[in-house]
Amino acid sequence: RYWMDLTPSDIMWNTSDTGWVKAAWSSIFAPWICGSCVFVHNMPQFKPEIIAETLSRFPISTFCTAPTAFRMLVQHDMSRYKFPSLKHCVTGGEALNPEVFAKWKTQTGLDIHEGYGQTETVRL
C-alpha cells in the first residue's frame, strides 16, 4: 500500500516470473488488498522494446520490474517513448546502482522506488 502507492484506480504491471515470490506479492496480494487492477502480459523473453511499447500503449499506472530489467531498459533509451498513464515505478531484490536511477529519471521523468525485503519480511 505504501511502497507501491496503489489505489483502486491504479493498474499494476509486475514483470516478475510466477516462480518468484515477487509475483505473488506484486501481482496478487498488494493489488488485491488495495483494490487495484492487475495488468498481465505473456512475455516469454524480456525485450526492452516490448516493455516500452506496452507501457506506452496501455493505461498502466504502476510498474514493477527487477533491477536488472531497469538496467536493460535505460540502455534501450526510454526517452523515445511516452507513458501517459505511468506515475509510479518500483523495484526490489538486489540494489540498483545510482546511475540507473538517474538515467530512468532523465529518460522518463519518473523516480524508481526501491524496496528491500526478503521473502519472509515483505511489506505491502
From CA 86, how far away is CA 104, in angstroms rounded? Answer: 13
DSSP 60-109: --EEE--HHHHHHHHHT-GGGS--SS--EEEEESSPPPHHHHHHHHHHHS
CA distance 85 to 12: 11
The cell for 24 is 505473488
pLDDT at 93: 78
Q: Where are the domains positioned within the chain?
A: 16-94
Q: What is the pLDDT of residues 21-71, one digit of tens each?
A: 777 777 788 889 999 999 999 888 889 999 999 999 999 999 999 999 999
The secondary structure of residue 120, as a DSSP letter, is: G
Radius of gyration of the chain (CA): 13
| pLDDT reported for residue 68 | 93
Average pLDDT rounded to a whole number, residues 65-79: 94
- Amino acid 111: pLDDT: 97
Instruction: Say what the pLDDT of residue 122 is.
Output: 56
Placement of cell 516470473 in the chain: 17
Tell me, what DSSP letter sits at residue 121? G
List, for residues 80-113, the tens digit of each pLDDT value.
999 999 999 999 878 899 999 999 999 999 999 9
pLDDT of residue 121: 58
More confident call, 59 vs 77: 59
* Helix then strand then coil, % of the chain, to nearest 5: 40, 15, 45
Q: How many CB atoms lie within 10 A of CB 99?
A: 10
Q: What is the pLDDT of residue 50?
A: 96
Instruction: Using a cut of 0.85, tell me whether the model's pTM lies above it.
Output: yes
Please report the pLDDT score of residue 67 as a whole number. 92
